[in-house]
Every structure is written in structure tokens, then in C-alpha cells.
Structure 1
């Protein structure tokens, strides 16, 4: 460990200083990961020294938290704008953490979005983009945006197509459903799942893993948002029937793994929003489920399916 830190110091990545007397050291560890291309082939090996934040105590080590990370709605919005204006999309991998920058110049503008240390660059000023790439020479320039946080980006003549095909295939493998038959809908029609129906799962681990993975898949799959919201209610004490529902969602993905979002070029940049809700749809709480979606021109950028906080006494 000491040799690794000394090597980092020699490379001027950071300076090692003494801990102030009024600061309690927390500790750290190395995290190693394997980065893959969208086709599953090896991209590179990666190592990062991270702080053990789980050893911090609220009120002693900190009082508030802040993570400068762009939301996925922002990522989709940037891609939608770039597609509508026919801007080129580039990606970089940086050691710097930030969120979103916009710089205007006499010849145009440049947008730079950072998700932890993965960067998307787009805009109209190609000379400034080149300058940014040179200034961030310590970063790894990866070229045209094709694969970002598990999202596959396909540039076509009519716009940009976004999906999670490889991620979906990995999820199907995790569930062990590679040779199963596909179904036409993510949930059975007119079926209501209750909290205490059926036998408890002896080990809820796989249920929680699958539902967590499905939640990440909703980044590009609006069509499963309601189904995932339904099964997410049972994370604390899942039952066999709930696992059957999760496996059905994944069987639906078997036949639709290439679906995703399309952001057309030439689309006007104006917002449209739509919303709806059922009436006392939850059989356990009698609360309703609301759903909404937002379009930037013809591009779908944000949506949600969520159980309401209170029981409605009127259908108005």
C-alpha cells in the first residue's frame, strides 16, 4: 500500500500531507474493476483508491452530504439536444468529478457533462472542443460517444438511438433465463400483487439483485417502469409470487432486449408533459399510482411511475 501511494505521489496525482489534529482519519481501500466494450470485449483494467465513507457517523464526521453527479434525466436531455441540433457527441474518462458545464463563445457553445469521471462533450464550437481535449490531456480520450455507464449510443443518419442491450443480456443471464420463452407483456393482465400473499423467500438476495438491476434498466426502458415499480414494493420481505413476477419481466426482456430510446435529429426544443393515475390501485394500502412523462420535442427525456403518498378520498 505504501509503495502504491509513493508511486502516486511521484506521478503528481496528489500530495500526501499530515492529518490535521481536529480531523478523524477514516481509512481507504483500493477498488479494482474491469471495463468492457458494449460487445463484451475487454476495454481496460481500472483501479481507484476510495474513502471508506461507511465508517463515517452523522453528526460527528459530517452534517450534510452532496454528490456532484448529473442525473440520468440530464444525460438524456443533453443527448436529445445534441441529436436535434446534429451536434457530434464525444466521451472522455477523467479523474475530475463535477456535474455540468456550459461555455459560450463567439463561434458557438460547448456542453460538458460529467458523471463521476465519465465525460460527455458536445456543442457547436469544434475548435473549443479540441482545446478541451488537449487541456484534459491527463484524461483518457475515448473518441465518439458509443458506450456510457452501460448505455449503448448508436449514431444514425436520422438521430441517436440509446439502449442497454448488453446490460439486458447480462441481467437475463443473472436470472438464468437464457433458454426460457419470451412473453408479450411485463406483467400479467389485471393481476394485483399483495404484500403478504404466498410463502416468503428463504433467501431474498436474488430477488433484490434482480429488482435493483431492473431499476437501472428503466434508464432507457419506459415500458417496464410500472412493472418495476410494482415489484419494488416487496424488497423488504419478498415472496415466491413476487419472484415469479420479476422473472416474467425478464422473460419479456428476452424478446425486447434491443428496444430503447430514439432521439430524432431536427426535433424542435420545446417541452411537453403528460400525466395520469389509477384509482386506489394498491390492494394493500388503497393508494393510487401516478405516472408521468416529459418530451423535449419528440425525444422522451424523463418519466416516473410512483405510488402516491396518501389515500385519495376523491377521484377528482
Structure 2
């Protein structure tokens, strides 16, 4: 009997011990699952935070008064960046026309992979362009920055409907300007450039002023665009900043090319070339002729300018407008502009 009691007591003890082991095992498993769940939760929270930081480019879009666009939105607006939506292409990237439900039509500039050496370079450009606000400068609406295989750095601008000044200067599609329109475009472009130089501190030098970067708005007003080469100008008593030569041949300031000294006057030189093009209808660089700055109507006082313009415009020039010497002189910059 005593033996049976001891045996039952031993079995009860073993059962109790096994039960405790099971409880501890279950408890350990629960703790491990909880730790694993917390780790997964922490991982995804951190990933989402990093993604948001990446999306905002270290920037607060609302603070900059810009909109952040998701890549999916831009793909939808451009039908996945199809060729039919392509407005133009350059060394910096491609520009697409995108249609949005809320904003309407916008211009989407998708940079090439090599356009920015670092992510911070792109972010600095966004910060800089967010400060630019003038009716004669194309406005930045927002941006997008995505990492990963589909990564992209994209700037979204207002859409300007009538193309670029280049199309009008070379007469593509029979497009031509009246003298009044040319004067207004010249004045508008000058105001936009002047705002970059004098309306922002420190000043901004565009470095690529040319007809294809002057867009024509709804009311045929000029809007300076493409800020891919902009550089901060001199500060205080400085007259220039040292810079590697960048820009478009034919519009580059010779002094900048030889000295590597960049100043607002480099943009002024480029603008002077455009003024000559507005009068002559000639390209800045022509293999059959000298550079356009060497082009001079022989007798402005005897309306030779009218003959030159009429030849380029195929008789579409207003006689009353071209007979006004003051109109011609507005377009013909003094050669001191290049000194």
C-alpha cells in the first residue's frame, strides 16, 4: 500500500513538473513571438519613416509650398511616360506633358540618372526653385523623389502652352510674331532674368539663357524655364564666382569661357544674342555665316532693318512697326553688352 502511494505521488510530481515545463515552454514561445512581432513592426515603421524622408528629399513640401507627387501619379498622368507625352529632351532629362484631375496639365521633368551627382544636389535645387516666384519665370509646382529600381528625381512645373521661342524664331509651322509681340516677349524675358539677378538674395545665375528655354504663355508672354544649370551668384562685394563652363555654344559669354568667372552679365550676353535673333530670324551659330553678334544691318537709319526682317519673315512684317527706329533699337543691343 505504501509502495502504491509512493508510486502515485511520484507520478503526480512528474506530471506537475511536466505541466510546469509546458507552461514555461508556452510562455517562452509567446515571448519570442511577441519579440518577433515587435521587431517586424519596428522594421516596417522605420522603413516607412525612411521612405517618407526619401520621398520628401529631406524637405517638407508643405513648408516649401510645393506638392509632393508619388511616382504612380506621374506614371498615370503621362501614361507611363509614353513618347506621345514627350514635350522635349535635353542633356538634363526629358520633359513630359501630364494630365491631372486636380491640377490640370503640368510639365513633368524627369532627370537622367547621371544628372545629379548626389541626392542632396537634387534637394538643394528643389529648395532653390521653391524661392523663385515671378510671372515671367516658369513656376515649380512640386517634385518627386523615389528610391529603388524605379527610382527617379522629378520636377513638376506649370505647363506653358505655346512652346518655346526657338520654334518661332526658326519659323517652324509658319509661326511668326508681330513686332508688338516680339517687344513684349523681349521685355518679359528681361524681367524674368532680372528677377533672378536682383529679386533673390543671393542672386541666381541661369547659365543657359537661349530661345528653347524661353517659353511662350497663354497670352504670348515670355516665361524663362529650365533651371538645371542655375548657380548661386556672387555675394557682397564679389564681382563673380568661379565656375566650370556650362551652357549652350552660341550663347556662352566669351569672358566666362576664357576666365571661368561667372556673373549675372553672362546671362545678359546670352539675352543679347536672343534679341538679335528676334530681329534677324537667324540661328545664333550658322556654319555658312559668322556668329550672329557680327550681324549688323548696314543702314538702320534707312530702314535696312525692315528689309532684313522682311526677308526672314517672308513679307509678314508690319510696315508701320518696322519703320519705327525705336522698335529696332530696342532689339539691337549696344556692343558694350559683351564687353
TM-score (norm 1): 0.26
Larger relative contact order (C-alpha < 8 A, sep ≥ 6)? 1
Higher strand share: 1
TM-score (norm 2): 0.25
For the pair shown, which has the larger CA radius of gyration, 1 or 2?
Answer: 2
